[in-house]
Amino acid sequence: MSFQQGVQTVLLIGANGQVGHALKSAGADINTPFEWHATTRADLDVSNFSAVKDLVRTLKPNWIVNAAAYTAVDKAETEAQLAQRINADLPHTLAVEAQALGAAVVHYSTDYVFDGQAHSPYTEADQPNPQSAYGRSKWAGEQAVTAHCEKHLVLRTCWVYGAHGGNFLKTMLRLAQHKDSLRVVADQWGAPTSADLIARTTLGMMHVCDSSEHPPWGTYHVSASGRTNWHAYACEAIAQAKRLGLVTRLDAEGIQAIPASDYPTPASRPANSCLNTDKLATVLGHPLADWHNGVQDTIQELAASGWRHL
């Protein structure tokens, strides 16, 4: 992937998260016209909107990429106001500031904006119907961005993981190092999507919008190809990890499939988190990689980094 346009200033908010970290890495690996200004929690309190506005007005970026989010899905049921502030009010602030500058906003959202009851992958045209405080806050954030900034990319994704940060994949590998058996939900479906895939797709869409006479602004689904459930995902990950020596104790046969009703949580999880990515594939000119590929790459990265010794 190469870019031919002039240098664009990008303000990346939330650079310490999974997607933010991957964006920094991908931006360094790929020859892009983007000059990144990354902020982490230590640099910027994203709940302090005066500080956020001051940063945007001082930097005057061409792009604002908002990778900051409140992601504690269950805690959001009792911290709905905080989730709303980070997931909805912050994007609103960024969208208004971007519009005043003539800048573009990239904002990440989630499958949780849907109720999970559909029998096929959700398209961008399907009506959101969030069933949790987290989902409602993310849907409000989407609406704020689309309403207040003309040049926007809202990228919905699901089941995010990576070598950096905490996620289901790393939790399963960690537990498999110490336990003889695990019980994992098998009736919730989705596509494990790597932060690296999200980051590279983001850069691709930014390039398309930057170089097009009629930029395809809007909402897109960003999800790895294929579908699986949490149980099958865990079995696949642990089997791959065992081949590389990251896991020496638990076998996939020791992972029991259970219904979601056996593992109640404060927040409702979508039974169907599958996202249709045809719209995105049409713009980029290719489908996104299968979820197996990303899991394999991430486990290999963990093995190469010596993660098993942590």
C-alpha gyration radius of the chain: 19
134 catalytic per annotation: yes
Of 5, 4, 24, the closest CA to residue 202 belongs to 24
- The number of beta carbons lying within 10 Å of the beta carbon of residue 45 is 12
- Whole-number Å distance between alpha carbons of 143 and 123: 16
Torsions phi, psi for 166 (to 5 deg): -95, 140
Instruction: Report CA-CA distances (Å) from 13 to 17, 105, 110.
Output: 9, 11, 17
- Helix 230-243 × helix 168-176 angle, to 10°: 60
Cα 117 to Cα 138: distance, rounded to the nearest angstrom: 18
Q: Residues 70, 108, 134, 220: which is the catalytic one?
A: 134
Q: How far is it, in rounded angstroms, from Cα 216 to Cα 220?
A: 10
Which amino acid type is present at position 165?
Answer: G
Q: Is 271:188 a contact under the CB 8 Å cutoff?
A: yes
| Rounded Cα–Cα distance for residues 85 and 196 (Å) | 27
DSSP conformation class of 7: P
For 218, the 3-state DSSP assignment is: strand
* Residue 79, helix vs strand vs coil: coil
The CA distance from 55 to 69, in Å, is 18
The secondary structure element, H or E, covering residue 255 is strand 255-258
Catalogue the active-site residues.
134
